[in-house]
A = this chain, B = another copy of it.
Amino acid sequence: MTAVETQRPQLSSSYLPRSPALDGSDPEAKRAEMAEYFTSVFDRYESLFDLLANDAAFYDKPIALRHPLIFYFGHTATFYTNKLVLAKLLPERIDPRLESICAVGVDEMSWDDLDDTHYEWPSVGEVRAYRQKVRAAVLKVINSLPLQLPIQWEGTWWPIIMCIEHELIHLETSTVLIRQHKLEYVRSSPEWSPCKSSCAVQSAAPENQLLSLPAGQVTLGKARNADRYGWDNEYGHRQVDVEAFQASRYLVSNAEFLQFVEAGGYADDDVWDDEGLKWRNFAAARHPAFWVWRDAWYLRLMSEEVSMPWDWPVEVNCLEASAFCRWKARETGEPIRLPSEDEWYRLYDHAGVQEVSSAPASANLQLEHFASPCPVTEFAHGDFYDVVGNVWQWTHTPIYPFDGFQVHPLYDDFTTPTFDNQHNLIKGGSWASCGNETRRSARYAFRRHFFQHAGFRYVSSDAQAQEPNAYYESDRQMSEYAEFHYGDSYFNVANFPKAMAELAIAAMGDQPAETALDLGCASGRATFELARHFAHVTGIDFSARFVGQGAEMAEQGILRYTLTDEGELVSYKSSSLADLQLAEYASKVAFYQGDACNLKPQFSGYDLVLAVNLIDRLYNPASFLETVHERLKLGGKLVLASPYTWLEEHTPRAQWVGGFKKDGENYTTLDGLQDLLGKHFRQVGEPQKVEFVIRETRHKFQHSYSEASVWERIL
């Protein structure tokens, strides 16, 4: 392995300040710092578009999935206007038409979901003039807005940093688009100079090796009072023990990746997963996207193609990185895979990396060294190289919210649409990452088929990479039930599954209370509540999705879901067992999918069967009622509750238990229950009506009564 000499350019005049500390003792100094941070980023962003050689470069799309660059040129400016109007910091719009056209990108499309909307793009001059108006307007705000330190999440200054950090994200993603543009559209600029150092021979690149890290605990998640700006997904808490593992000393270089290419890895279906195969076939991928073959391998940079720098990190998407790991695991017999996010933090802590503070950064970060990657041997961090910087590093972990996650009201869809298990976290930042992107706490995620300045490091570990659940339930019925079971009260009506469990527990008196069955448990709240009194509680529902909610609550202690506010507008919500004082009962419950009309024999011998809002949803309630005694011990209690909402869609008319004329007389469901249960049960006391409310939107609720009756098995 040969370390290759590198030439570092002088710090350019376009040195970018760090993301400001939010606290401080001198508001006016902070105001000045904010003004400098704003103008530096705003002007540097504009300078990037100087790389475009002509007007056509602004309007021809670099890739089909995204808007042309004219959109991005305008977008970061309109974002200032849109958010500052929303935050009531700007009194009025500057150019409503532009602010509408340049508002919404198409970043989160699937790879085969092409954008073919027709847009009437503005001229480059128009956008340039607009940007100057925005620059002046924002500066006016910064210079006049009252400022109290610290700058806080809820405060008036937060949207200003939000807009600056937003522009930094687009600064980086625009460099990627430029790198994907036709070469004829791009020109070079001294301000955006690539690294000139590289080894031109594959064998001269460093040989990678696995280094061991001991087990250790890592803490993720940013405190609400942290001293730097963070996006919504960074806040909250996670502490986890990471097992010992090995990690590659270097990022995977172009040289190392060539082995995979030359071994036929792209054509080898066994090393691609389903998603990877679909992408590879669609894209007809045969090598990394920025590699160009012209009798020899070249690498596309922003404004030029260079002879392949074999010792630079390879840049691939997550699917290619994963395929490489599978191939490498097969070749070596080692458990090679991408690191989890937790493992990356363990590596970061172990390597003793420091936040970027003084310049120049001790990593290829912050546009402070090169406008390109550089050799993987350039920046050492402890025993490793490029723990941060150079190119982003794909992880095995889809982005998920930490405990305590909240959206910011001015940008509620920054992260939430990516909590879908389809966006994997990238860590460490690239040469183009600045501001928030460079920090330990940063958490960005992209679809796995997406290209960024991103490569990877592999690890070897027998441990499974943990994948905390990222899922926000957004199915209407499922999220309505999550809220119904674990969420807020409305119209002062007490939580219904809890009230039903309490009614059932009261009905038990001092009878033995070893086991209970919550049949038709839906999202499972009553199952947990019964576990306050019973040693073991079984929750069963016909819907595997409902049972999944209960099981998820038992395993993760938290459920996340959206609440429909109005039309398509939603709020993001989570409910936890801990907040409901139920965490200690999670080990006493078990959830199963099952059919109350045809229950497996092992579900029997219970002291209590609770069946809430169940019978009018069964296809054959009589068969359930005629056999439910078989589930109970003699003397055991059956607690039924139902609003008796008989509907043909759930229960054929011929199977209704009551609610019709029988032999000419009104025959209620309670009459039917008495007839069907009478043989094996004694009814205890009078039926009671218990209220319940199910929220549908901010303005619309179902408000009902369930009639609860108690029965004792006597035969």
Which residues in A have some Cβ–Cβ distance to B below 8 Å?
A: 82, 86, 99-100, 103-104, 412-413, 491, 565-569, 643-646, 656, 658-661, 663-666, 668-669, 689, 693, 697-707
Cα A646 to Cα B565 with chains together (Å): 11
* Nearest chain B CB to A631 CB, angstrom units: 26
A566 to B670, CA, bound (A): 11
CB distance from A669 to the nearest CB of B (A): 6
Q: Is the CB of B668 within 8 A of A566?
A: yes
**A-B contacts, 16 listed (Cβ < 8 Å):** A82-B663, A104-B661, A412-B666, A491-B703, A566-B646, A567-B644, A567-B669, A569-B659, A643-B700, A644-B699, A645-B699, A699-B707, A700-B704, A700-B705, A701-B702, A701-B703
Say whether A566 contacts B699, CB under 8 Å: no
A100 and B412: CB pair below 8 A?
A: no
The 8 closest A-B pairs by CB, nearest first: A567-B659, A103-B663, A703-B703, A643-B699, A567-B646, A566-B659, A699-B705, A103-B664
Residue in A565, A656, A702, A703 whose Cβ sees the most chain B Cβ within 10 Å:
A703
Beta-carbon contact of A703 and B702 below 8 Å: yes
For the complex formed, measure the closest distance between the CB of A189 and the CB atoms of chain B, giving whole angstroms: 31
Residue picked from A82, A659, A665, most chain B C-beta under 10 Å: A665
Q: Chain B residues near A103 (CB, 8 Å)?
A: 663-665
B701 touches A704 (CB 8 A): yes
Instruction: Known pairs A104-B663, A565-B659, A567-B644; list 12 more (Cβ under 8 Å).
Output: A100-B663, A103-B663, A103-B664, A103-B665, A567-B660, A567-B669, A644-B697, A645-B700, A689-B699, A699-B706, A700-B702, A702-B703
Q: Once the chains bind, are A664 and B82 in contact (CB under 8 Å)?
A: yes
In the complex, what's the smallest C-beta–C-beta distance from A649 to chain B, in angstroms?
14
A664 to B703 Cα, complex, angstroms: 34
Which of chain B's residues have a CB closer than 8 A to the CB of A707? Answer: 699
Query: Which of B566, B664, B665, B705 is the one whose CB lies under 8 Å from A669?
Result: B566
Q: Which of B656, B664, B668 is close to A104, meaning CB atoms less than 8 Å apart? A: B664
Question: What CA separation (Å) do A661 and B82 show in the bound complex?
Answer: 12
Q: How far is the CB of A428 from chain B (nearest CB, A)?
A: 29
Most buried by B among A656, A689, A702, A707: A702
Provide the residues of chain B in CB contact with A82, threshold 8 Å: 663-665
Bound-state CA distance A76–B705 (Å) is: 38
* Cβ-defined partner of A568 (8 Å) among B104, B645, B661: B661
CA distance A567 to B644 in the complex (A): 7
Most buried by B among A103, A104, A644: A644
Q: How far is the CA of A706 from the CA of B99 in the complex (A)?
A: 32
Flag if B703 contacts A658 (CB, 8 Å). Answer: no
**In the complex, what residues of B have CB within 8 A of residue A700's CB?**
643, 645, 702, 704-705
Q: Are A656 and B699 in contact (CB under 8 A)?
A: no
Set of chain B residues within 8 Å of A701, measured between Cβ atoms: 702-704
| Chain B residues positioned under 8 Å from A566 (CB to CB) | 644, 646, 658-659, 668-669
Decide: B104 and A660 in contact? CB cutoff 8 A.
no
- Inter-chain CA distance A104–B663, complex, in Å, is 6
Determine the chain B residues whose CB is within 8 A of the CB of A656 once the complex forms: 567
Chain B residues in 8 Å Cβ range of A661: 104, 413, 568-569
Closest to A564 in B: B659
Q: State the CA gap A661–B108 with chains docked (Å).
A: 15
The reply to whether A569 and B663 form a contact with Cβ atoms under 8 Å apart is: no
Nearest residue (CB) in B for A647 is B567
Cα–Cα, bound, A704→B656 (Å): 30
Smallest beta-carbon distance A56→chain B, Å? 27
| CB proximity of A100 to chain B, nearest CB, Å | 5
Q: How far is the CA of A706 from the CA of B697 in the complex (A)?
A: 12
A100 to B663, CA, bound (A): 5
CB-defined contacts of A666 to chain B, threshold 8 Å: 412, 569
Instruction: Please indicate the chain B residues that have their CB under 8 angstroms from the CB of A663 in the complex.
Output: 82, 99-100, 103-104
Question: Which residues of chain B are within 8 angstroms of A664 by Cβ–Cβ distance?
Answer: 82, 103-104, 413
Chain B residue at minimum C-beta to C-beta distance from A567:
B659
Contacts of A569 in B (CB 8 A): 659-661, 666, 668
- State A621–B114 Cα separation when bound (angstroms): 31
Q: Which residue on B lies nearest to A697, using beta carbons?
A: B645
For the complex, give the distance between the alpha carbons of A669 and B568 in Å.
Answer: 11
**Nearest-CB residue, chain B, relative to A642:** B699
Contacts of A646 in B (CB 8 A): 566-567
A659→B568 contact, CB < 8 A: yes
When chains A and B are docked, how far (Å) is the Cα of A666 from the Cα of B700?
A: 19
- Set of chain B residues within 8 Å of A100, measured between Cβ atoms: 663
Q: Are A665 and B86 in contact (CB under 8 A)?
A: yes
Q: Nearest residue in B to A409 (C-beta to C-beta)?
A: B666
**Within 8 Å CB of A644, what residues of B?**
566-567, 697, 699
Within the assembled complex, what's the spacing in Å between the Cα atoms of A660 and B570?
Answer: 9
- For residue A417, give the distance in angstroms from its CB to the closest CB of chain B: 10
Roughly how many angstroms separate A119 CA and B4 CA in the complex, as a whole number?
99
Bound-complex Cα distance A656 to B566 (A): 11
**How far apart sit A303 and B707, CA to CA, in the bound complex (Å)?**
56
Closest to A672 in B: B567
CB distance from A343 to the nearest CB of B (A): 35
Q: Nearest Cβ distance between residue A616 and chain B, in whole angstroms?
A: 9
Contacts of A668 in B (CB 8 A): 566, 569
Q: Please give me the residue from chain B that is nearest to A490 by CB atom.
A: B703
Minimum Cβ distance to chain B for residue A124 (Å): 21
Residues of B within 8 A of A693 (CB): 703
How far is B644's CA from A666's CA once the two chains are assembled, in angstroms? 39
Per the bound structure, the CA–CA distance linking A645 and B82 in Å amounts to 27
What separation, in Å, do the CA atoms of A663 and B661 have in the docked complex?
57
> With the chains together, A542 CA to B398 CA distance in Å?
50
Complex interface: chain B residues within 8 A of A645 (CB):
697, 699-700
Query: Nearest Cβ in chain B — how far from A687, in angstroms?
Result: 12
